[in-house]
A and B are shown apart, each in its own frame.
Chain A
């Protein structure tokens, strides 16, 4: 990979150009903002991976039902992106939302309980895997109509603008959602109103079984076309958590600076099927293998160890700790009560 960050801007000023170039890892030097904690980034990616593995197991056992979309392979993208936000920023996600929710710091036990449909779940068992919410953490869903979350995010950003704060909204969406009309509507609306909205495209090359080439005129790169809306766009290597964080920092900085909406396209890949019901007939294992070779949950700690930032032992300690957290969340979910039937009638109206 020659450069992990590209931009749609015709001429890039030095100041806005992310510093990362080539395979060296300048972010690991002393220029690093002290807020970047590599171990935290690793820990969160590993947590998401293990959480998703546990979800898969419990789906097979029939304890989790419905549609279950795992985030395995995309951890660096979600973790890098969310790590660039403040507590008062909003996050909006789609149905592949576990990674974003955990990265935002949502309670692991309560998220797992929600997937189990239990009363202790984040939505009292009434939302499920595709509908995670935590308003206290400003995690505003979990939306399962493809692209439907985009205008909602624009509205949250509109409120932030109306209230004259410098908080912003980050909205995740997939490559498949760009074929919905409301995607275009929202880009335009955000641009004309200069909303503090960060469009975060997770381009994992497929929407269910449809490769981008089969469903999109114009190829696999989305970021160059975003210039049409007058929105600056960056492309970033979504398998590189530091590159994602860096690109996010750049975009977030511009938004807080009053420059209006920004767009990031992270190239990433899900190593597993679209959902647990997916036999993956539409793609070859070679392609999957190739991407798995760049697995951020393996390559990132390896790099940290190689550079002497952490030791084997520290990584091992984190893994043990996380494994316990995940196991506990499964226990918590399993031991939690089913919702009372009276809950049927609650929360329909205020």
Chain B
């Protein structure tokens, strides 16, 4: 299988959609002339023209709202935020409009829109540019939220997101744009709302998503070196959340560490933990262990930021504390 970058996988998915469906168009700040803040849309303007690759003013509320209106009128807009931190100024449109329109119209209006946004810390952008608001959005009924952890998933999820008739947020971990991974030439999609058992094992289950899979994978390697058999689960989708796959795994391993790379408090794993304590207690040999980034504004300094961000050491410490592994 050919290896491609995470950003190239996204680009491939977007390009296919633009080529195959005339209703698909893109909007965002500097996605055209500039080529996209993370170069995902580089070359699109030349290929598809300014009607379909629309550079917007720095008006997140207006262009997200315009995306919603265009979707309600039958188009399939793909809207890009430069950072998910900037989504805050458009939360009204995402939550009050995109998520609620179908329900409050009694099913009359659909919003088949994709919102893409770089997310997460790790590149020293400081407090206002490093947050992970997919965790906030994942609570809202009426929108789907996905977050890929590798190029294969990035392509499979973006394809499904664009085809979905609901608003879908695709949170793209900024630290992963340059990651390489195997992506087949044959067409495939990844169903939204299904977690992936990315490694099978019998002794402990490590659960995460997005950037969090990096510390999870490296912790899994270390645990296996010490003779433990590790199962890893990549949630892929935060809403709908696939708890069943996690439950099935715990019935086999009887041990679990939940890993957020977003801030610990109120993270997605808080919700997973709450479900597990209700539904998996009888299977567990110890406490539900939960790891997340430290609950402070993101610091700029490299050493401080690394300390705040979840790493493999945090995951291993949790496995040791909870299960003596």
Residues of A near any B CB (own CB < 8 A): 90, 121-127, 131, 133-135, 140-143, 145, 148, 150-160, 162-163, 169, 181-182, 185-186, 188-189, 192-193, 346-350
Contact = CB atoms under 8 A, between A and B. Distances in A.
B106 A156 contact: no
Interface of A is mostly: mixed
B67 interface: yes
B57 interface: yes
A188 to B, nearest CB: 6
Contact of A162 (B25, B102, B106): B25
25 contacts: A124-B106, A126-B106, A131-B104, A141-B104, A145-B96, A148-B65, A148-B92, A148-B97, A151-B62, A151-B64, A155-B69, A156-B69, A162-B25, A162-B51, A162-B75, A163-B73, A182-B65, A185-B62, A186-B65, A188-B62, A189-B56, A347-B107, A349-B144, A349-B166, A350-B166
Contact of B92 (A145, A160, A188): A145
Contact of A155 (B72, B92, B104, B108): B72
B93 interface: yes
B49 to A, nearest CB: 12
A348 B112 CA distance: 13
Chain B interface bracket (under 10, 10 to 19, 20 to 34, 35 or more): 35 or more
Interface of B: 25, 51, 54, 56-57, 59, 61-75, 77, 92-93, 96-97, 101-110, 112, 141-142, 144, 164-166
Nearest to B58: A185
B115 to A, nearest CB: 13
A141 B101 CA distance: 9
A155 B101 CA distance: 14
Contact of A158 (B69, B104, B106): B69
B96 A348 contact: no
B66 A151 contact: yes
Contact of B109 (A121, A133, A148, A162): A133
Contacts of B103: 126, 347-348
A151 B72 CA distance: 12
A160 B72 CA distance: 11
Nearest to A180: B61
A85 to B, nearest CB: 16
Contacts of A154: 62, 65-66, 69
Contact of B69 (A127, A135, A151, A193): A151
Nearest to B59: A185
A263 to B, nearest CB: 16
A159 B66 CA distance: 9
Nearest to B101: A141
A338 B59 CA distance: 42
Contacts of B144: 349
B201 to A, nearest CB: 34
A302 to B, nearest CB: 39
A167 to B, nearest CB: 10
Contacts of A162: 25, 51, 70, 75
